[in-house]
Structure 1
């Protein structure tokens, strides 16, 4: 086990049974407060040395202050946000014990094994070092001969002293400081900082269904934190939440409802006044908002090279000190200039607005693509033209079949609900149209395919290349490909073949069966849907091929890069040596990436150029992930050989096995139509 490398002083004791944290809790929708009830609660940082209890708020600004140091962080939620975020924090802060907790025992089991529950490039390496520890090693400090020693990524040049350097650096061994556990309450009670990173989907029923945020899991965690967090702990919102959620947390951690019986007897309007009692008198917490700005497929890059870290707090002395405490965690690898501090409600709203604005740009260019297809204009040429205008910029102007994923649609609808709750119906309708345009674009693409196939799919085979909603991830939530499959099923095709290089076929089959609620949809059950582990089998004798995810191996055009984004600067992969100081975790990470990218295949066994890895946790004979690999030949989440480029498609081979007329519908703008025309394939792209 990973904890076997921990000193006894750092190993958490077990035995405290948790209450049901994420189950049997009624769904609740956020409401918009009609007045500002925000207030600050004193941190343990406001304690005077001679005091045992927090000082009154009116004395906090005049009392002696103890600087707060962080030794333990607890992240509640081991999903797409909590797992990678906690892993990167632990990797850069080896002196802080980071515990990730979740009630889902299967998810925790996979985080504690070599079968991580999610796939993100670079994540396995980060988790392995922080969770398992590493050996000491000697790092060669001479830059490669074909690299300029003065060439640096921005972080590599940061805080460096010019002068002589040693040709070899000794890097000490590292003990594990990342734990994954299902012991929720005890991990919360031991933490100086508690991050809440649980799922906050859109409500599917009740008031606000279809737009309001379902705060079921978030509310349950907040109550658990209120019961178990140590006095003075900093509570941090990592989940994407409605604006003014911090106020809800403050009320929850300060007050506990008496009993279910008293709640039923009391009038609803009196709950906040007569039926609340302080269950932990004298215990105060500070609430921060620290939203994530991660993009699936580049989550590790976004965490390692963030363009900004946003921390929202109250503007009281204790609130500002809490923000400074959290900022010091990030300063281990993030320049201070990229850490932005705001009030807590601005931070909450900024996350919703950021995703909404990005989605708006996608829907905007997609609306123009419909006009282009009717007029003969080329949407890519229009995007290039308007992108040269510095007031507009060229980001998120790639026309396609629309956005997917768990964030954009959910966050836009949350913004819609907020606007409508405030009586701003016109504002809500404006943003709702962004979602409508996205759905229109996807459906328009499906109809175009059907029309070009003589308005019928009967007896025909359609191949979808890509099932994940985005490249380089196994995340299939709100996947446009799934909605296209649903549309095609109504047309009675002979086969709908699906291939995705980052999704295990068996996992995709299970998901499709659950989402369609149709036990006869899959080929093995007599249905038309076939999930293929081999791309050429998926394309064999196909009447039409659809590009539904922008994986680089599908491309016949060069991959685009965003050189202005900090996360992309690391992808230039220059040799970061020589190191004048002791190499930081970031330095080692960048050097390892550089060495793996420039070395011939097989040069470094196990992708370990420094021979620092400790053995990964072993799996029992009953491990379901090992069984899945034995039956399918693929891991459950992603490509385990992520440091090697996946092989590009041989379009000549695909052309030779397609039915005539050979039709390819490019839903992501990654195919050169003129190049494939030489192979006899007719390409139709969005916006052309």
Structure 2
């Protein structure tokens, strides 16, 4: 099929490359000339395992190209809208300017016929009610006589696994319009995803509002699970209990499961924080704000974890951060990503610096992004440079490189053998055996 992808950021670039891998003829559109140039040269503008190799594989086939010229969508039958929906500045609500602009720019080039309608497919995470509004907007702005249909097909990508999650997803969700356009849209999407569907990937077809709610509901549930175990960590610290053993025990319950019951410094990134806040804002607009009041506490618990890590660092430094050398391992919000949006590691680093500590940060992939946002922080060239002479080491992003550190060798480079494990990912016994004072959230002190 001939497909266009509007917006070539994290979601769009991966989607475009994967659609070409599935055999479709794809054009990716973005307003950022530098990003388009990199992608056209088979280079990923961000770190995502597997994407550079996929670009190098599909670009020479001629099935994938990138441009800033919206008119290049002409001839495509399916158009995926993949632009961002960040949190509106100073508010909880989502900023839909980029989605609206993308649809307004695309609509004049939609040349659908009765036999071959133009299908616009939203993949961005949007407040419920957006799809119905955009369907009207597309119909209004499309050329006279053009048959257009809008569907909503939410994405469920995990950073670090985005290529796999696109090519072999755990489910598809189609939000379809009522009436005769619904089956037509489904048939077109089935053709787009014919390969993964042929392997038995589950498919849920529903209406617009339900499809829009699926992604925010999933993220809200995940955020709640993470904040729940972090709330348990707060209790464990008061009674010297072990939150990891607690999570292991309740995780054996099939109704609960062990995944994402990992206490620590909390979640960040470009999805969970802003999605649960936008969900709360939209619920308020709909008069259903009481249904989601628990999400405010979920958010508050998450933010308290960052403050607690700052407190623990001060405690490790005997009550004062002034002049103390703090080494922070991690800048990305999670490993296998260079995404620093709402990163707990950088939030903690900035707070420590404001309170008088000399902070040095290192991350295998997120250094360039971190420097742009936090130029006042010092950044190490590698682990050794970062921890040299440190009074305390904080492990805040669980990269394999950090998990593989040898406690004895690492101890020879620091001034004080003190480590705070912000992800409960290190072996306490091994670090303590090497003479380190090891602390982690929700774990016994010894």
Q: TM-score range by the shorter chain?
A: over 0.9
1:281 — aligned with what? 144
CA distance in 1, matches of 2:72, 2:202: 30
Among 412, 425, 437, the residue aligned to 1:656? 412
TM superposition shift of 1:680: 0.9
Q: Which structure has the higher relative contact order (CA within 8 Å, separation 6+)?
A: 1
Question: Conserved in 2, the CA contact under 8 Å of 1:540 and 1:654?
Answer: no
TM superposition shift of 1:650: 3.2
Among 407, 432, 435, the residue aligned to 1:680? 435
Deviations 1:242-293 (A, max 9, x none): 112111112211225xxxxxxxxxxxxxxxxxxxxxx733223111111110
CA distance in 1, matches of 2:106, 2:332: 34
3-state SS in 2 of match to 1:428: helix
Among 260, 279, 293, the residue aligned to 2:156? 293
Instruction: Report whether the alignment pairs 1:100 with 2:34.
Output: no
TM-score, normalised by the number of residues in structure 2: 0.95
3-state SS in 1 of match to 2:46: coil
Among 76, 80, 85, the residue aligned to 1:191? 76
TM superposition shift of 1:340: 2.1
3-state SS in 1 of match to 2:340: coil
CA distance in 1, matches of 2:304, 2:406: 32
1:60 — aligned with what? none
TM superposition shift of 1:315: 3.7
CA distance in 2, matches of 1:511, 1:549: 18
1:262 — aligned with what? none
3-state SS in 1 of match to 2:393: strand
Instruction: Report whether the alignment pairs 1:241 with 2:126.
Output: yes
Among 84, 88, 95, the residue aligned to 1:214? 95
Rg larger for: 1
Question: Conserved in 2, the CA contact under 8 Å of 1:417 and 1:428?
Answer: no
1:309 — aligned with what? 172
Question: Conserved in 2, the CA contact under 8 Å of 1:76 and 1:82?
Answer: yes
TM superposition shift of 1:396: 1.1
CA distance in 2, matches of 1:676, 1:237: 49
CA distance in 2, matches of 1:462, 1:429: 37
TM superposition shift of 1:406: 0.4
Deviations 1:53-78 (A, max 9, x none): xxxxxxxxxxxxxxxxxx31000011
TM superposition shift of 1:484: 0.6
1:355 — aligned with what? 219
TM superposition shift of 1:114: 4.8
Instruction: Report whether the alignment pairs 1:459 with 2:318.
Output: no
Question: Conserved in 2, the CA contact under 8 Å of 1:238 and 1:290?
Answer: yes
Among 435, 439, 447, the residue aligned to 2:299? 435
Runs of at least 5 residues in structure 1 that lack an aligned partner in the other structure: 1-70, 133-174, 257-278, 514-520, 522-528, 556-647
Runs of at least 5 residues in structure 2 that lack an aligned partner in the other structure: none
Instruction: Report whether the alignment pairs 1:76 with 2:6.
Output: yes
Instruction: Report whether the alignment pairs 1:368 with 2:232.
Output: yes
CA distance in 2, matches of 1:361, 1:316: 38
CA distance in 2, matches of 1:440, 1:301: 33
CA distance in 1, matches of 2:280, 2:297: 10
TM superposition shift of 1:507: 4.1
Instruction: Report whether the alignment pairs 1:418 with 2:304.
Output: no
CA distance in 1, matches of 2:393, 2:65: 44
TM superposition shift of 1:234: 0.3
Instruction: Report whether the alignment pairs 1:500 with 2:363.
Output: yes
Question: Conserved in 1, the CA contact under 8 Å of 2:224 and 2:298?
Answer: yes
Instruction: Report whether the alignment pairs 1:226 with 2:122.
Output: no
CA distance in 2, matches of 1:114, 1:225: 25
TM superposition shift of 1:235: 0.3
Among 308, 330, 334, the residue aligned to 1:444? 308
Question: Conserved in 2, the CA contact under 8 Å of 1:312 and 1:323?
Answer: no
Query: Superposition pairs for residues 505-654 of structure 1, below 5 Å?
Result: 505-513=367-375, 521=376, 529-555=377-403, 648-654=404-410
3-state SS in 2 of match to 1:195: strand
Query: Per the alignment, do residues 390 and 482 of structure 1 end up closer, same or farther by CA in structure 2, a change over 3 Å counting?
Result: same
CA distance in 2, matches of 1:375, 1:431: 26
TM superposition shift of 1:454: 2.2
CA distance in 1, matches of 2:335, 2:428: 21
Bigger helix share:
2
TM superposition shift of 1:337: 4.0
Instruction: Report whether the alignment pairs 1:118 with 2:4.
Output: no
TM superposition shift of 1:551: 0.9
TM superposition shift of 1:123: 1.1
Question: Conserved in 2, the CA contact under 8 Å of 1:367 and 1:441?
Answer: no
3-state SS in 2 of match to 1:201: coil
Question: Conserved in 1, the CA contact under 8 Å of 2:111 and 2:147?
Answer: no
CA distance in 1, matches of 2:287, 2:202: 35
Instruction: Report whether the alignment pairs 1:404 with 2:249.
Output: no
Query: Per the alignment, do residues 114 and 284 of structure 1 end up closer, same or farther by CA in structure 2, a change over 3 Å counting?
Result: closer
CA distance in 2, matches of 1:107, 1:461: 37
2:422 — aligned with what? 667
